[in-house]
Structure 1
Amino acid sequence: MPGLKLIEEFLNTVDERTFRRHGENHVARDQLSSPQALSDWLEAHDLGSQPADLAAATTLRTALRQSLLGGSESKNGAVLADYPLRLAPGDAGELRLASDSGRPWLDAIVETVAAGAATGDWKRIKLCGAEDCRWAFYDTSRSGRGRWCSMEVCGNRHKTRTYRERRSASGGPDLGSVDADERA
């Protein structure tokens, strides 16, 4: 999982969360808003300080996020096909998966995803099941069937909403006019 932490953080450079919590709207944002922002992110994650290709980074990030949603559109497959892998000797004589895009930082991300896919750990990287969240997280549940980035936030909001819908359908008492998203 240590390498996949990098991928989780890369995927979360785009924050799509739009829900309300404690009365405040969460504002969606993209950390990779400029080539300099990407260079700063890469340097902060020890991926070098070379010139960064913002378009390549956001295209790869989007394709990886789509793959987590089960997006198997041909466009997504075509984007991922742009990152071929080969076997290369490692430092200790072992074999490793290697990418050679000419951008070492991009190769490091692609190689980490490939290694995670090869070991089966990639299936533990997920996007939150809440439509208004989609935060990437590493599923640590025993069964590997976790749905929420945070049970305390997104899981609770979902369960509260479901409970209210059941109560409303059964003619139960009104639980107030506060939206379930605001209570969580």
Structure 2
Amino acid sequence: MSAGDVGLVVVEQFVNTLDERTFLRLGSLHRADDTLTSAEALASWFGEHDLPATAGPADLEQARALRAGLRAALLSEGAAADALAGFPVRLASDLERGLRLQAATGSSGLDALVETVAAAVADGRWKRLKLCASDDCHWAFYDTSRSGGGRWCSMEVCGNRHKTRAYRQRQAGRRPHTNWLTAPPTLEP
């Protein structure tokens, strides 16, 4: 993963602060969870990810709105444009770099996330950030496959469950298998 992708990994982790997974794994039900329950939790999350660690109640609402918009965009839902409309980005003059993308959410931590997303969209890395295709997962992941066609957050869990389910459906569509031990074949004369 290149140095430019590090910022997008933080965006992935931000999207995953809402854990919607509700599947059974090894007999245990995974419960959905939201990490961003308070302004203090948001400030703590910012600090853990080397972002400016200040956040108030308004920042929490903006963070949840941004996260919802990003999740909608990753699911390719039409509501994404509306959800992200409140997070405009503009070009700003920078003495060191000339021009740069600049967000103005009022929160330095959220600005960094919005600017990272905008840069990833501009350079094409955004298409590598995806939500798992499993309806009972939707965990965000960075697709590192060569073709960029990854669909599952984990082949060992979600990919395997999908492939096993598809196999069982195909098998159910075939004619029933006769168990020769319990029902011997009848021979026709």
Q: TM-score, normalised by structure 1?
A: 0.88
Q: Does 1:116 align with 2:120?
A: yes
Secondary structure, in 3 states, of the residue corresponding to 1:131?
coil
Instruction: State the Cα distance separating 1:89 from its structure 2 match.
Output: 3.1
Q: Does 1:37 align with 2:21?
A: no
Q: Does 1:60 align with 2:60?
A: no
Residue 139 (structure 2) aligns with: 135
Instruction: State the Cα distance separating 1:162 from its structure 2 match.
Output: 0.5
Instruction: State the Cα distance separating 1:51 from its structure 2 match.
Output: 2.4
CA distance in 1, matches of 2:162, 2:50: 37
Show structure 1 runs of 4+ deviating over 4 A. none
Match of 1:149 among 125, 146, 153: 153
Instruction: State the Cα distance separating 1:91 from its structure 2 match.
Output: 5.3
Instruction: State the Cα distance separating 1:87 from its structure 2 match.
Output: 1.2
Residue 3 (structure 1) aligns with: 7
Instruction: State the Cα distance separating 1:54 from its structure 2 match.
Output: 1.1
Secondary structure, in 3 states, of the residue corresponding to 1:137?
strand
Q: Name the structure, 1 or 2, with higher relative contact order (CA <8 Å, separation 6+).
A: 1
Q: Which has the larger radius of gyration?
A: 2
CA distance in 2, matches of 1:136, 1:173: 40
Residue 95 (structure 1) aligns with: 99
Secondary structure, in 3 states, of the residue corresponding to 2:101?
strand
Contact 2:42 2:55 in 1 (8 A): no
Residue 86 (structure 1) aligns with: 90
Larger mean CA deviation between 79-88 and 62-71 belongs to 79-88
Residue 130 (structure 2) aligns with: 126
Tell me which amino acid in the other structure corresponds to 2:78: S
Structure 1 unaligned runs (5+)? 175-184
Secondary structure, in 3 states, of the residue corresponding to 1:122?
helix
Tell me which amino acid in the other structure corresponds to 1:69: L
Instruction: State the Cα distance separating 1:34 from its structure 2 match.
Output: 1.5
Q: TM-score, normalised by structure 2?
A: 0.86
Match of 2:76 among 70, 80, 84: 70
Secondary structure, in 3 states, of the residue corresponding to 2:92?
strand
**Count of residues in Structure 1 that have an aligned counterpart in Structure 2:** 172
Secondary structure, in 3 states, of the residue corresponding to 1:161?
helix
Residue 180 (structure 1) aligns with: none
Q: Percent identity?
A: 53
